[in-house]
Amino acid sequence: MISGETPWKGRLGVDGPHPTLTLDSELRGLGIDLPDPLGKAPATSRPLHLDIALADRTRLSGRLGSNLGLRWQQGAPGRGQVWIGRDAPSDWPAEPGWSVQAYLPRLAPAAWGSALSPLIDGGRNGTAADVGVSRVTLDTDCLSVGERCLGSLIVDGGPQADGWRLALDGSLLSGRLEYRPRRHVPLDIRLDRLRLDDLVPDDSVAATSQDSGQLFQELDVPPTPIPMPDGIGKVPAGQLSVESLHWQSSTFGPFSANWRTSPDQLVLDPVSLSLGEIDARGNLTWEASGPEASLTRSRLSLEGAMSARHCGPWNSRWQ
């Protein structure tokens, strides 16, 4: 994540009631392998300034460029804060350990997950408490997947005894996420609502046909094959439940699914979805079929009365 060497200069002050140490560097020669706004190439500069009070209880404060600030006070236990893209907090955190508050105009989970995977893999048998994190608050205007913005999101939470618990809220969804790496199914996501308008691309669903009585219609032209996403095998097994899903003017649900992954396969089993008076249950397998393509196998059973009024926008063609 951080590599290289960089020159720095320090100043030791002994005139005050306790010694102070000041460190400064432009970080030239040091690379930070993180997405914007924290990442940097070794050839670029970014000012780092640290002030350290060498008293009975050491205090530290500093800034990295214009986006990141931090402070720490030693104690029993110690408390510290990191803030990114926002002003310094007015108060110290109540919990011991590090509190992280971040505002990122655009957040790409795939890029951050790839950059932080060495830390996650190295601490897979531990918890957030093992690295001294007490609370995380993340605010973004744009949850980015590919070139699309899925909506705003606020994430707030911290460590439990055996993992993480995070509250989720934004224009895209609301609910909670729990991650317990020691469990057989580490990831548990429970949502009160999920908005699909931006999650499903406009060209994925054709115009709704109010005269059709079929839930799904077969396309004349098969979809273009796409490869399995890189790193699919690193996604931990999990379960998802959504109380209500919103698409245009329709609301349906609940939806639930369990998943497991391998380097060349994603399995959803079981999957269930309620569409008005229709209940759909089954499973789906998505697996690699060569380096440039993939295929899916699914089994679905339907129960209940089927009509355009109940199916709403799903009464359409799919790609």
Q: Where are the domains of the chain?
A: 1-67, 75-182, 183-319
Q: Which amino acid is at 151?
A: G
CA distance 151 to 166: 18
**Coil vs helix vs strand at 115:** helix
Which of 267, 269, 272 shows the shortest CA–CA distance to 254? 272
Confidence at residue 213, expressed as pLDDT on a 0 to 100 scale = 42
Confidence at residue 200, expressed as pLDDT on a 0 to 100 scale = 74
b vs e for 270-307, b when ≥16 Cβ sit within 10 Å of the residue's Cβ?
ebebbbbebebeeebebebeeeeebeeeeeeeeeeebe
Backbone angles phi, psi at 114, to 5 degrees: -65, -40
**Coil vs helix vs strand at 109:** helix
pLDDT per residue as tens, the chain (319 positions): 889 999 999 999 998 888 999 999 999 999 999 988 899 999 999 999 999 999 888 999 999 999 999 999 988 788 999 999 999 999 998 888 999 999 999 998 888 877 776 655 544 454 444 458 899 999 999 999 878 899 999 999 998 888 899 999 999 999 999 999 889 999 999 999 999 988 876 655 544 444 434 444 443 445 566 676 777 777 889 999 999 999 888 899 899 999 999 888 889 999 999 988 889 999 988 887 766 667 777 777 877 655 444 454 444 433 3
pTM of the model: 0.79
Q: Which residue's structure tokens are 């309620």?
A: 274
Confidence at residue 203, expressed as pLDDT on a 0 to 100 scale = 55
Q: Could you give the maximum distance between any two Cα atoms of the chain, in Å?
A: 85
Which of 137, 148, 68, 69 shows the shortest CA–CA distance to 108? 148
Q: What is the per-residue DSSP string for 259-318? A: EEEETTEEEEEEEEEEETTEEEEEEEEEEE-STT-EEEEEEEEEES---HHHHGGGSEEB
> Which residues is 149 bridged to in the sheet?
144
Confidence at residue 202, expressed as pLDDT on a 0 to 100 scale = 60
**Residue 116, CB half-sphere, CA atoms under 13 Å: how many?**
11
**Coil vs helix vs strand at 193:** strand
